[in-house]
Amino acid sequence: MGFTDTLQEEVDENNRLRAENLLQMFFPLLLRFFSDEYDDVSSAVFPVTTELLSLLRKEKKVSGGLASTHQTMLQPILNAIVMKTKYDEDTNWGDEDEQSEEAEFQHLRRQLKTMQDAVSAIDECLYIDLMSQLVEGIFDRMAQQGGNSSVDWRDVDLALYEMSSFGEMAMRYGGLFAKGQPSGLPAERLVNMLGKMMASSKISSPHLRMILTF
């Protein structure tokens, strides 16, 4: 290897380290804006978040895995996506006067789902674990509290929405059951979610009945 090749390698490595340092400095700011209570602020960083996820997916495809500093980015991103997917606290159930805002929110959810699917494509196990904990946790809380009004309908809606999204993954494994058994880990977890949902509905939760019949 000649001097020119060695120099080029050193320059490339220096640039890589500099880029990595900038990314680590930028990431907390990205999460801050993504998690902002105002959707307009969050939406402004959707393109760069999508680009980051695309780069991480390419890294995993090429290298067979992610660098540890990159792997640790996935859970905070997924948590932020889920947080934004939930209805705001000032949203009232079935408020017909807010139809335009509802349409905007559903558009936001579709964008968020695209990014959520990207996280799933990068680290399916992380996605399965976090979604299982989220959905089952909400239904467990409903059952423990006897379905009383302290369980927010926004939480119930989020659980049902994410369970539906989770079901899409399970179906990609060839359906829910094969020879009487769940056809894969996603199907197994989905069956557990459905069981907890049914258990919580037996306590006559007004939230669950209202959303399921909407």
94-124 tens-digit pLDDT:
565 567 788 889 999 999 999 999 999 999 9
What per-residue confidence (pLDDT) applies to 93?
A: 59
User: In the numeric block, which tokens belong to residue 15?
Assistant: 């640039």
User: In the numeric block, which tokens belong to residue 5?
Assistant: 């090749």
- Residue ranges of domains in the chain: 1-105, 123-214
Q: Are 203 and 143 in contact (CB under 8 A)?
A: yes
Rounded (10°) angle between helices 99-122 and 153-171: 40
Mean pLDDT, contiguous 10-residue spans, the chain (214 residues): 49 82 95 94 96 95 93 97 91 65 90 96 94 92 70 88 86 68 77 85 53 48
User: In the numeric block, which tokens belong to residue 158?
Assistant: 């989020």
User: In the numeric block, which tokens belong to residue 92?
Assistant: 């009232």
What per-residue confidence (pLDDT) applies to 135?
A: 93
The torsion of the CA quartet 162, 75, 84, 132, rounded to 10 degrees, works out to: 20
What per-residue confidence (pLDDT) applies to 3?
A: 39
